[in-house]
Amino acid sequence: MVRVLTYLLVIAALAAGAVWLADRPGEVSVLWQGYRIETSVAIAAIGVILLAFLALVVWAVLRFVLGLPSAFSFASRARRRARGFEAVSRGMVAIGAGDPIAAGRHAHDARKFAAEEPLTLLLEAQTAQLSGDRGRAEAAFKAMLDKPETRVLGLRGLFVEARRRGDMAAARAFADEAVRRSPSLAWANDALLDFHTGAGDWQAARTAVERRAALRLADKAEAKRQRAVLLAAEALEAKGREPEKALAAALEAVKLAPGLTPAAALAGRMLSERGDIKKAARLLETAWKEASHPDIAAAYLDVRPGDSARDRLARAETLTKLRPADPEGVLALAGAAIHAQDFARARATLKPLLAGGASVRVCLLMAELEEAEHGAAGRVREWLARATRAPRDAAWVADGLVSDHWLPVSPISGRLDAFVWTVPPATLGRPAADLDDVLADLDESAPLLEGRAETAAPVEVVPETASAPNATVIEAVPVAPAPAPPQPTPGAKPEIKAEAKPETKPEPVAEPKPEPAAATPAEAAPNSGKPAAQGRPAPVVFPVAHAPDDPGPEQAPPEEPKGRFRLFG
C-alpha cells in the first residue's frame, strides 16, 4: 500500500511539474563554438534528462568492461569456497559416522579449496584424532592459535591431547591460558578445579569454585556444597597440626552443609575435646537429623569422655527418638546395650533387623552379643559365618570404589564430592551352595569342598586308634568279593575278611597296618568291583568340612563288622 501511494505521489509531482512548465513558456539560447541553439524551456529540460541518462549508460558499460577480470576471479573464488564448505560438511558427517578414510579425503578437498577457513583446521584436527595421528592433530590445533577466532578452540584441543598423553603440567598450562583469554569457559574452569583438588590445594580449589559460581557455571546449591566439601577436606588435613584452623573450617563446613557427615563428626569430636559438650551434642543432633551415619552416632555416644555405659545407652536412646526406626539408630542402640550388659534390650532391638535379612553389621553385633552374654563359641562362629555371606551394609562408594573412609575427591575419576553413603552395587555374599567353603575358610584344619578337590590334600589311610581333628569315619563296602584271596604280606597281622552273609556274626576285625602310600585313583574309585591293594576294599573319598560349632569327630558305632578307615584332608 505504501509503494502504491509513493508511486501515485511521484506521478502527481511529475504531472504538476509538466503543467507548471507549460503554463510558463520561455526560451533557452545556447552559444557554443560559433553555434547558437535556441529552444523552449521544456525541450531544454528534456534534453538535459536524456544527456544524463546517456552518461549513466556509458558509465555502466565502462564499469562492466573494466570489472570483467575481477568478476571472473570472484566467481572462481566463490565456487572454490562453496566446494570447500561442502567438503567440510561431508567431512564432519564422516567423522560423526566414524569413517576416517572418507574424513581424510574430504579434509584434503577442504584444505585444497578452503585452506584459510577455521572449519578446515577443525576438520583436519578431528580427522587426525579419529585416525589416531596425535602429532598431526596437535599440529592442527597449534595452527589454530594463530587466528583469533580459533585460538580458544586450539587451546582446548591441545589441552585434550596433553591430558591423553599424561602431560598434566602442559594440560594445566593450556587451561590457565584459556581461562585468561576467556574467563567464562566452562571446560577450562572445571579443569582447573580438578587440578587444584587433585593436588590437595583446597584454598585454590575454593577460589575456583567461587569463580565458577560468580560466572554462573554452577548453581548456588552445588557451589555451596562444594565449598563445604573443600572446607571439610581442609579440616581433616589440618586437625593434627593446626587444631584451631581445623575446627574453624569444620564448623564453617557444617554451617554450609549440615548433613556433611565427615565435617559434622570432626567438629563434634573437636568440640567435645575442648569441653564444649552442649554445642557438640547440639551440632551432632542436627547432623543426625539431616543424615544418620555410624560416625555421627559414635561421636555422639562419646561426646562426654569418661561416661558410663549406661550414659552412652541413654544417648543412644536419644538418637533413636530423633529418627525413629532408622537402622543406624537401631544398631547404635544395640551396640550401646551390649556394652551396658543389657542383653535382653539388645536382642529386642536387633530382632526387627533379623527378620528382614541380617546385614554384616547385624551379624557381627549378634556374634558380639552371644560372646558377651553366653560365651558360646559355636553360636559366635555361626554368626560370623553368616556375616561372610550376609548383604553388605552401606559404605562410601564413588565410581565403583568402596572405601571405609570418606574422601573429598574420587581417586578413580578425580571428581569432587564423588563419595556417597550407600549400599555398594554387589551387596549379596556367596550363594548358599558355597556354605561349606565359607565355613572351611574359618577353620584352617577343615578340608576343602568337593568342588575344589584339585586343591585338597591327598587322602591318607590311618589306623583306627589314631585321632585327627575334623576326621570322619567312613565305612568301605565292596560291591563284589575278590575272585581270589590275596597273599598276606610277611610280617603283617592277619586280616579277617568280612562275609556278605548277614546271619553269620563275624569275629572282630584286626586293625590294619598303615600303608606306606595313599591309594591310587584307580584303587580308590568306589563301586569299581575290583579289589584294592593288599586285599583291602576301596575307600570312598568325601572331603568334609564341619560346622563351626561341631564338637569334633565321633567314633562310628560298631554295628557293622567291616574294616574301618579314618579319612581326613
Which H, E and C letters describe 430-457, residue by residue?
CCHHHHHHHHHHHCCCCCCCHHHHHHCC
Q: Which of 30-39, 263-272, 356-365, 539-548 is predicted least confidently?
A: 539-548
pLDDT exceeding 90 applies to what percent of the chain?
A: 44
Q: Is the pLDDT of residue 248 over 80?
A: yes
pLDDT for 19: 80
Nearest to 537 by CA among 552, 527, 550, 548: 527
Q: What is the predicted pLDDT for the residue at 426?
A: 62
pLDDT digits (tens, 9 = 90+) for 258-267: 989 999 999 9
| CA dihedral sign of residues 344, 345, 348, 349 | negative
pLDDT score for 331: 94
Neighbours of 307 (CB within 10 A): 14
Find the largest Cα–Cα distance for the chain: 172
- Mean pLDDT estimate for the chain: 77
Contact of 231 with 252, CB cutoff 8 Å: yes
Please determine, for residue 34, whether its predicted confidence score (pLDDT) is greater than 70: yes
C-alpha cell at 319: 538418637
Output 67 or 421, whichever has higher pLDDT: 421
pLDDT band at 553 (very low <50, low <70, confident <90, very high): very low
Instruction: Work out the average pLDDT over 473-498.
Output: 41
Q: How far apart are CA 196 and CA 206, in angstroms?
A: 9
- Determine the pLDDT at residue 420: 93
| pLDDT exceeds 70 at position 514 | no
Length of the chain: 569
State the angle between helix axes of 100-113 and 118-131 in degrees (0 to 180), rounded to the nearest 10: 150
Half-sphere exposure of 414 (CA within 13 A, CB side): 12
Burial level of 191, CB count in 10 A (0-12/13-18/19+)? Answer: buried
Q: Cell 592433530 identifies what position?
A: 137
pLDDT of 445 reads: 33
What backbone torsions phi and psi does residue 303 show, to the nearest 5 degrees? Answer: -65, -30
pLDDT at 528: 39
On the question of pLDDT at 498 being above 90, the answer is: no
Within 8 A by CB and 6+ apart from 157, the residues are 125, 137, 138, 140, 141, 144
CA 164/CA 153 separation, integer angstroms: 17
- pLDDT tens-digit readout, 391-419: 989 999 999 899 989 999 999 988 999 99
pLDDT in tens, 293-345: 999 999 999 999 888 999 999 999 999 999 988 999 999 999 999 999 999 99
Bridge partners of 409, per DSSP, are 416
The proportion of the chain whose per-residue pLDDT surpasses 70, expressed as a percent, equals 75
DSSP string over 106-171? HHHHHHHH-TTSHHHHHHHHHHHHHHT-HHHHHHHHHHHTTSGGGHHHHHHHHHHHHHHTT-HHHH
Spatial distance between the Cα atoms of 191 and 414, rounded to a whole number of angstroms: 10
